[in-house]
Amino acid sequence: MPKFSCFLLLLLITTSSFSQQTGKVLEQKVVKSTILNRNVKYTIYLPPDYESSERSYPVVYLLHGYTDDNTGWLQFGEINHYTDKAIADGTIPPMIIVMPNGDSSFYINSYDGKENYEDFFIKEFMPAIEKTYRIKAEKHYRGVAGLSMGGYGTLIYSLKHPDLFAAAAPLSAAVFDDSTLMTMPDISWTNTFGQLYGRTLNGRDRFTKAWYDNSPLKLVETRSSDALRQVRYWIDCGDDDFLSKGNCLLHIALMEKHVPHEFRIRDGAHNWTYWRTGITDALAFIGTSFHQ
């Protein structure tokens, strides 16, 4: 075979090998929690060069939705494939993505103290993860994102702990205004929210301290513009999503506080098709926050 042909063949093999590099997924790992008194599962994505390098990486905590678990973004969102492609294309920097199991906690501390998930996440989970893996454990290199219940958790953590996160990307976030909460059917309140904010069923009695302490709209209203500007926000919700009202109100609330943010209403509903088509842009937005 001529030398030039051999060179082309070697180049094609090398290029093909590089293009097929994939990250590593550890699907069922656990963190032992003293706060929750149980082991909490998580799934983690490590970028393609993790095992061949000695560098440390930025991290994104990616939160699942209601009724899903730590494998949701992997099984239904195909997050490993989208992240592999985005890293290979240069759309996002190599990053570690951590997906904890949040059960139906909405990622907050419940009103009765029986499920202090927020305390677990901030005080136990993040420190454990960032000691176990080569992560740049500082605000500048840390982001949070999630869908639906996970979008709500994304907002709670970034609004309450702006010193910990550079950027937040809630997708189809479960944001409700007071009027929506007050008129919510009793069965929806009891089955989903009563365990979080209080068991009272009727009208304005639902506006408990726990509700206001964990309402993204109230948190934006009560925080200063300077405090809100500490985190970069990417807010994305479908035009046919039942949560579009709350997300629009969040956008308006941030505008009224003169807080720069990105807001997207795209064609779509509350489903995986929408989230799969939005996650790369969300990660790219977070990734720009990691740049010096």
Supply the pLDDT for residue 16. Answer: 44
Supply the pLDDT for residue 292. Answer: 72
Write the burial class of residue 64 (CB in 10 Å: 0-12 exposed, 13-18 middle, 19+ buried). buried
Q: At what angle do helices 272-289 and 79-89 cross, to 10 degrees?
A: 40
Domain annotation covers residue 6: no
Supply the pLDDT for residue 5. Answer: 53
Range of the domain at 120: 21-176+215-289
The reported pTM is 0.92
Domain annotation covers residue 161: yes
Domain annotation covers residue 269: yes
The amino acid sitting at 204 is: R
Tally of domains within the chain: 1
Supply the pLDDT for residue 17. Answer: 44
The amino acid sitting at 120 is: F
Which backbone phi and psi does 21 adopt, to 5 degrees? Answer: -65, 135
Domain annotation covers residue 114: yes
Other C-beta atoms lying within 10 Å of the C-beta of residue 204: 9
Domain annotation covers residue 9: no
Check the CA dihedral 98-102-108-112 and report its sign.
negative
Over its length of 292 residues, how does the chain's per-residue pLDDT go in tens digits? 555 454 544 544 444 444 458 999 999 999 999 999 999 999 999 999 999 999 999 999 999 999 999 999 999 999 999 999 999 999 999 999 999 999 999 999 999 999 999 999 999 999 999 999 999 999 999 999 999 999 999 999 999 999 999 999 999 999 999 999 889 888 888 889 999 998 777 778 888 999 999 999 999 999 999 999 999 999 999 999 999 999 999 999 999 999 999 999 999 999 999 999 999 999 999 999 998 7
DSSP state of 291: -
Domain annotation covers residue 200: no
Supply the pLDDT for residue 263. Answer: 98
How many residues does this entry show for the chain? 292
Which residue is it, tokens 């489903």?
A: 271
**CATH number of the domain bearing residue 273:** 3.40.50.1820
Give, in degrees to the nearest 5, the angle at Cα 152 between 237 and 116.
170
Domain annotation covers residue 262: yes
Supply the pLDDT for residue 20. Answer: 56
Supply the pLDDT for residue 64. Answer: 98
Domain annotation covers residue 1: no
Q: Are strands 167-171 and 142-147 parallel, antiparallel or unpaired?
A: parallel
